[in-house]
Amino acid sequence: MNAPVSELIELLSLERLEDNLFRGQSRDIGTKYVFGGQVLGQALSAAQATLTQPRHAHSLHAYFLRAGNIEAPIVYEVDRTRDGGSFSVRRVTAIQHGKVIFFCAASFQDAETGGEHQLSMPEVPKPEDLEPAPAIPQEKLALLPTKVQRWLDRQGPFEFRHVYPRDELNPPKRPPFQQVWFRLTEKVGDAPELHRALLAYASDFHLLGTATFPHGISYYQPNVLMASLDHALWFHRPFRADEWLLYAIDSPSAQEGRGLARGMVYDRNGRLVASTAQEGLIRVLADGQTA
């Protein structure tokens, strides 16, 4: 297994301290603070570890309260809120340096049959018909802050192929829509719990950024401050995070320094496997100020 994938699997494999208490390590991937997807994936892993019945996660609703310190581990406390006849609910609180930085509620369900329908997948090119994103020229990369350089120059555990690429260093104004194919760069085990945690991690990529498209700004600009405020994730159907998935995202509104983005995740056969929503802080600072 290659290093980025094995590191991510390790990141999502928490240390159990007590029955309902877990510790997760943090990784510096070039973001200023702990990447939100890391906390989402670890919190879901913690909740899944407390189930005593074979139930699968169908929804997660989270709030980010404080920025996480990438230099310190995070402790996850799980409240076994309810185990009913068909559903289980867990509340997870993430703590760092004695303060709550995040909390979420996750719901789990027994396998069940019922009526089915879904919105159709957008008509887009297949991932193999799209070129991988070109490397940023070193002379451009050298002009950016060190952390941004690491973020853009790293080989991460996921591969992304954009249907309509955007130059994030010189972003044009365009409608708030995008479609991105993504997959884990290497095959992993078959455990559905692992693939759901991996998708929770990946769901934080590209989502809020879609809300910046009409304004011609980017997270990489030094005067742009962006931070996730909340995150919702629904799992609809089985999937594998190590096979191509299409993330179809739109942003219906931005106002009062906040942007809202929604996403639908399809497998390459057109099955809707998950949906997401996120609101985040988007501030453009005054001239001379940096985020």
Give yes or no: 278 in active site.
Answer: yes
The set of residues, in sequence order, having a beta carbon less than 8 Å from that of 226 and lying 6+ positions away, is: 208, 209, 212, 219, 280, 281, 282, 283, 291
Q: pLDDT value at position 147?
A: 66
CB atoms within 10 A of CB 114: 4
Q: pLDDT value at position 29?
A: 84
Give yes or no: 287 in active site.
Answer: no
In this structure, are residues 160 and 136 in contact, taking their beta carbons and an 8 Å threshold? no
Give per-residue pLDDT as tens, 55-99: 999 999 999 999 999 999 999 999 999 999 999 999 999 999 999
Identify the segments of the chain with pLDDT beneath 50: none
User: Residue 289's Cα: distance from chain center in Å?
Assistant: 28
Q: pLDDT value at position 154?
A: 66
Marked catalytic residue, from 26, 228, 251, 275: 228
Marked catalytic residue, from 38, 178, 204, 267: 204
Q: pLDDT value at position 143?
A: 72
Q: pLDDT value at position 39?
A: 98
Marked catalytic residue, from 42, 203, 275, 278: 278
In this structure, are residues 62 and 230 in contact, taking their beta carbons and an 8 Å threshold? yes
Domains in the chain, start-ordered, CATH in brackets?
Answer: 3-110+131-284 (2.40.160.210)
Buried b (16+ CB within 10 A) or exposed e, 36-55: bbbbbbbbbbbbbbbbeeeb
Q: pLDDT value at position 144?
A: 73
Give yes or no: 218 in active site.
Answer: no
- One-letter amino acid at 213 equals F
User: What is the reported pTM?
Assistant: 0.94
